């Protein structure tokens, strides 16, 4: 139930009984007016102050707002309720609260002063509130921007020159919005510069990667850093060998003494197909070549002058090249063992060398480059 007031002698007794019974002293009516608001609508009598103090004693909300965001102090000042204004101000009513029109109780007081010059006690009450402002330091940041606008708007009507900032000691009336929001501007600028730096760094890293991507890939793959993202096993699960080594029999010592031990017995343990060891006896050379290429994940060509003199070695290259073209996957790894002249190559091999990368045996990063080109399995480490 709401609480209403009249001038009958029994009202104070009834009001106290209701409050003692636990009635909420802040129950609003349909317009959002609490009992403290309702007091301002009554004619001011000696009981107005008594009723107000009684409600406040029972913890009525002095800052309660109506549907129009009016506090009791807004209405008391607007309606010229002198004693009620005094009680509310003495009890700590907010003089900076905004109603729906953006007015504070001080705004209303100044408006009324201009219209009704006889109500000087309102100005004195508001000035006492300003004395509280002047005697307390304020944290000057963007949160008090509305209050700063009010101070600047009314600086000639109410002496607010002594309101100071807690951190700098500057007079609030002399500050601008950019002054009080400088920390926020610095923060935003710092964030902006940080984002720019991150973007610039990212762009630099991307540009560096594209410029040296081949070298980076070799280094990463050789150390198994990105091997988890390369999974060819499900594509080549039917392959018997990892590598078919195509070479001239005159380079057999190189293959069996240097290449094969490193590949087969090293940490990778690749499974090689070597024609002198793994070809099926009795089968034709053409069938063995086709068998080796079809059942190997890569074909490793050992290119040398000896290779160019071998008809069957060049046939192995053509077979591997045809298979790579059919699958549209680069399965050939070309290793130049000894220097060869392009003029000595047949047309197909010459075109291949011009359009594909190759590895030189004399390159000091030979094993890293070879490891990069070879098929990768999970959990493999780099060669040697």
| Tens digit of each residue's pLDDT (9 = 90 or more) over 318-355 | 888 887 777 667 788 999 988 777 777 888 888 888 88
State the 10-residue block means of pLDDT for the chain, 384 residues long: 53 76 83 84 77 84 87 85 82 82 78 46 52 58 64 58 67 66 69 92 88 65 56 67 91 91 84 89 87 89 89 86 76 86 79 86 89 70 41
- Number of C-beta neighbours around residue 153 at 10 A: 11
Classify residue 172 by its DSSP letter.
Answer: G
Q: What is the crossing angle of helices 311-327 and 285-294, to 10°?
A: 40
Tokens of 200: 């610039």
Model pTM above 0.95 = no
Q: How far apart are CA 125 and CA 60, in angstroms?
A: 21
Instruction: Annotate 49-92 with DSSP letters as a single string.
Output: HHHHHHHHHTT--TT---TT---HHHHHHHTT-HHHHHHHHHTT
Q: Cα separations (Å) of 357 from 223, 325, 351, 360?
A: 21, 16, 12, 10
Residues in the chain: 384
Tokens in use for 94?
A: 């907010």
Per-residue pLDDT tens over the stretch 202-211: 999 888 888 8
Residue 202, pLDDT score: 92
Contact, 217 vs 365, CB < 8 A? no
- Give the pLDDT score at 37: 84
CB distance 213 to 268 below 8 Å: no
| Strand order through the sheet with 332-336 | 272-274, 241-246, 296-303, 332-336, 359-360
């Amino acid at each position: 139930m709401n609480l209403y007031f009249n001038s009958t002698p029994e009202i104070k007794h009834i009001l106290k009984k209701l409050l003692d019974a636990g009635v909420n002293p802040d129950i609003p009516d349909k317009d959002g007016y609490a009992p403290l608001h309702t007091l301002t609508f009554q004619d001011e009598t000696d009981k107005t102050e008594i009723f107000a103090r009684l409600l406040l004693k029972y913890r009525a909300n002095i800052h309660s707002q109506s549907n129009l965001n009016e506090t009791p102090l807004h209405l008391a000042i607007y309606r010229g309720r002198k004693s009620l204004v005094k009680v509310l101000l003495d009890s700590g009513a907010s003089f900076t609260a905004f109603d729906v029109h953006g007015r504070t109780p001080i705004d209303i007081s100044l408006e009324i002063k201009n219209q009704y010059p006889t109500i000087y006690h309102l100005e004195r009450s508001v000035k006492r509130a300003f004395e509280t402002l002047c005697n307390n330091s304020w944290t000057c940041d963007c949160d008090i921007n509305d209050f700063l606008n009010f101070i600047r708007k009314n600086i000639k009507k109410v002496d607010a020159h002594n309101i100071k900032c807690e951190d700098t000691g500057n007079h609030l009336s002399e500050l601008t919005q950019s002054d009080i929001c400088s920390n926020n501007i610095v923060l935003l600028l710092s964030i902006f510069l940080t984002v720019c730096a991150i973007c610039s760094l990212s762009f630099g890293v991307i540009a560096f990667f594209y410029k040296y991507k081949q070298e980076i890939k070799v280094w990463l793959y050789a150390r198994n850093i990105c091997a988890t993202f390369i999974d060819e096993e499900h594509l080549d699960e039917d392959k018997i060998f990892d590598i078919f080594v195509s070479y001239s029999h005159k380079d057999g010592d190189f293959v069996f003494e240097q290449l094969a031990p490193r590949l087969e017995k090293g940490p990778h343990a690749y499974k090689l197909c070597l024609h002198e060891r793994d070809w099926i006896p009795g089968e034709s050379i053409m069938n063995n070549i086709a068998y080796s290429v079809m059942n190997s994940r890569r074909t490793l060509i050992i290119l040398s002058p000896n290779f160019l003199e071998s008809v069957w070695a060049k046939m192995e290259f053509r077979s591997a090249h045809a298979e790579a073209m059919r699958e549209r996957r680069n399965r050939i790894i070309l290793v130049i063992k000894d220097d060869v002249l392009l003029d000595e190559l047949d047309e197909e091999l010459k075109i291949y060398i011009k359009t594909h990368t190759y590895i030189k045996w004399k390159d000091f990063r030979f094993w890293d480059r070879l490891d990069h080109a070879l098929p990768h399995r999970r959990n493999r480490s780099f060669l040697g």
